[in-house]
Structure 1
Amino acid sequence: MLLPEVLLWQALRKRPGGFKFRRQHPQPPYRLDFACLEARLAIEVDGEHHARGDRPAADRVRNRVLAEYGFATLRIRAREVLSDLPAVITAIVAACRVRAPLHHRPAAGGPPPRSGEV
């Protein structure tokens, strides 16, 4: 991993907002930089090369394929991670909250659901 990815992973592994993140998550035919499976959110850290050549078109195709699997893609510039990591984390948590289910399943061994809950 490159420095922006290392810094982001150090923050995401603390489960900000209560969300669990995975790094280098396989989602064939791709490997996601980071993913929040609960929110079905793919987080991609983009360096400068993503703005050059055929990369923008390839990224659009990748986003479309991931959307077919139910993932939204949040693209973050590497320089944003380096310059303002707290703002990046805030944006990621906000995106997860928008996409996460309203109700979470109770933890194993927790109380049973109330009447009308699944």
Structure 2
Amino acid sequence: MKKGDTAYGFQDASPCLYPILKAFAKENRRHLTPCESLLWNYLRRTRSCGYHFRRQHIIGDYIVDFACVEKKLVIEIAGAYHAEPRQAADDSLRSEWLEQRGYEVIRFSNKQVLQEIENVLREIDNRIKNK
């Protein structure tokens, strides 16, 4: 896949918004949450089934926690604020937008990542193998 390929997602971003998203994604990569950091260490180390993941990756006007561009798989880690009605509605719209572009979105709670990391990794590997 070439960098100009639309699967990279940045081409879908609003031109006026992209520089802001890029700076925000860069900042997010510097300050991962403990759960993001834990999952990133596993994804980076194991290269889940041989596939490369990006962290805090821009797709359209969104920044996703993790993305395997080649398999069009997005992984989101949901902290407590994702249970808030407004955030849950925003997450639903975001997932719908991504799915319309061929991405599969899977979400894990902070608790799952912290307490059930092996199950989380198994689920990710299963999703990759089935794509």
The TM-score range, normalised by the shorter chain, is: 0.7 to 0.9
Determine whether 1:94 maps to 2:123.
Answer: no
Identity %: 35
Q: Find 1:13's aligned residue among 44, 47, 50.
A: 44
Q: CA deviation at 1:53?
A: 2.6
Which of 31, 37, 51 does residue 69 from structure 2 map onto? 37
SS at 1:45's partner residue?
strand
Q: How many pairs does the alignment contain? A: 99
Q: TM-score scaled by structure 2?
A: 0.72
Q: Give the C-alpha shift of residue 46 in structure 1.
A: 0.4
* Deviations 1:9-47 (CA, angstroms, capped at 9, x unpaired): 000002022121111111020011000112101100001
**Superposition TM-score, scaled by structure 1 size:** 0.80
Q: CA RMSD in A?
A: 0.9
Greater Cα radius of gyration, structure 1 or 2 = 1
Match for residue 98 of structure 2?
66
Q: Which runs of 5+ in 1 are unaligned?
A: 100-118
Whichever residue aligns with residue 6 of structure 1, its letter is S
- Aligned position for 1:50: 82
CA distance in 2 between partners of 1:40 and 1:10 (Å): 20
**How far is the alpha carbon of 1:3 from its aligned partner?**
0.1
Higher helix share: 2
Letter in 2 for 1:64: E
